Amino acid sequence: MTSKFNISTGAQLKSPALGRFYKRNGHKGKVQPNDICFWTERDQAIVAAARLQPVAGERNSLLLRGLWVDKALRRKGLGSELLQRITHYLQEQSSNCYCLAYANLENFYKRQRFNQPSIESCPSELLAQYHSYKKRGNNLTLLFYSA
């Protein structure tokens, strides 16, 4: 079974299919028009996806959102492969990237050179979002990738 990697700088190109993929796999987030979308297909079906969103007020900084793998295909390397392609894209674009990751996935992201940033260096809007999620009981960690 071969995989096909895709990237779209215009979310409208694949947003209905990406939205269905996310919903089918339990993710509540929605594809936004300014998202940079990444997905992997097998047999013309999306099996893994992620999105990058611009961080408000920050030049060359993005937020990684919604990195999900089809429930039936988890722990087979698809997430790692997708994240490697995303970090390659970040390097090509000389973009930095933040991520609000579930704490149990911290090592997964660290293998791709995501590390904890100094709180002082984080955009205030992103910190507010992080603290809001934490107050709601989400066990998250804030990570940063520097291109």
Domains observed in the chain: 3-145 (3.40.630.30)
Q: What is the pLDDT of residue 60?
A: 86
Cα separation, 62 vs 140, in Å, equals 18
Predicted confidence at residue 61, as pLDDT, reads: 92
* pLDDT above 80: residue 81: yes
pLDDT digit string (tens) for 100-134?
999 999 999 999 999 999 888 899 889 999 999 99
Tell whether the model's pLDDT for residue 79 goes beyond 80.
yes
| Contacting residues for 6 by C-beta, under 8 A, at least 6 apart | 14, 37, 38, 39, 40, 41
Q: What is the pTM of this model?
A: 0.88
The CA distances from residue 41 to 6, 32, 69, 76, in Å, are 8, 20, 11, 14
Q: Is the pLDDT of residue 16 over 90?
A: no
Overall average pLDDT of the 77-92 stretch: 94
